[in-house]
Structure 1
Amino acid sequence: MALLAEEIVEEWLNRQGYFTIRGIKMGVQEIDLLAVKWNTSGKAECRHVEVQASIRPVSYISQVPKEDQKSGRAANSAKRSQEELEQGVAEWVEKKFRRSDKKALMAKLWGGEWSSELVVNVVKSEEELKLIASHGIKILRLNEIVSSLVKDSFVIGSASGADIVDLIRMGSHVEGGA
């Protein structure tokens, strides 16, 4: 599901005129998507997008704080105090968006400012999303992106993910009785 969701998000970005790189490997780390395009004022818009596409989440997006894991807590434990949730989110944001090696790579690709964005489907905790957003991460909903691909018109009619969008469109016609 994760790779399909990334492909859908990439198609959505491509149709808006963004040039994208998906699945950048950095040791055991990965960057899901980087996207760049020129806006109407002649400035580059640079986006770092991570995708979490759970259908039935059983845990949080973030993990239990590293310090608590050292004492035997499971990394994906669903039981957390508010303090553990806040610390876990801060560590997750650092790992996904703020690591120096990721920042250095983005600076080499394009020296401007990069947005930090998270695409989610179903989440265990809306409170966790609020905490993630409080770190300057823009939250986008996968269902809204899919809906946009089906309904909206774009600069580019289709890109490499067009087959998936056609299947989604076909499914929406079946559901809608068309």
Structure 2
Amino acid sequence: MSKKIVTTDVPAEPSLDQSSHSLSVFVNNTPGVLMRITQVFARRGFNIDSLVVSEGRDERFSRMTIGITGSSNGLEQIIKQVSKLIDVIHCIQHEADDSVVKELVLIKLLIKSTEDRTSALQIIDHFNGKTVDLTPESIIAMISGDSGKLDAAIKMFGNFEIVETVRTGKVVMARGGATT
């Protein structure tokens, strides 16, 4: 007679709430602060999709813009944990309607003919981009905007031979008098 194993454990269903969030973290400009912040996200199971760090107007401080994907349920806890870290001045979540969010992409294209060059320049112009390098064999285009615009531009350049793309993460600034 075989034994039947009975368990009351119910396997966890994968969370369907995997939405994107943008956080702005204002920190003291000290070594190790980035590592401590990213560990909070890793421990909570959030994936960091983009990370932009730059020195502020005052060189003693830096601003981090962190694009993450994960469940909204644990987001408030992450914000609280990050805010408690040494060297963190504040951590704020930004919604699309209360902030300006932009990205930038550089796209290098091989150009094989005059017609290709003309077509590429028209696409760059359509997306309000700039040609930042131009040689007889290649073009480097710079396009800025929201994620959807950059995705569409890259798709349009799919008819060309794309040598490489370099894409920044999202940068966020709160609208009006709100703090970023």
TM-score (norm 2): 0.29
- The structure in which a higher percent of residues are strand is 2
Instruction: Please identify the structure whose Cα radius of gyration is greater.
Output: 2
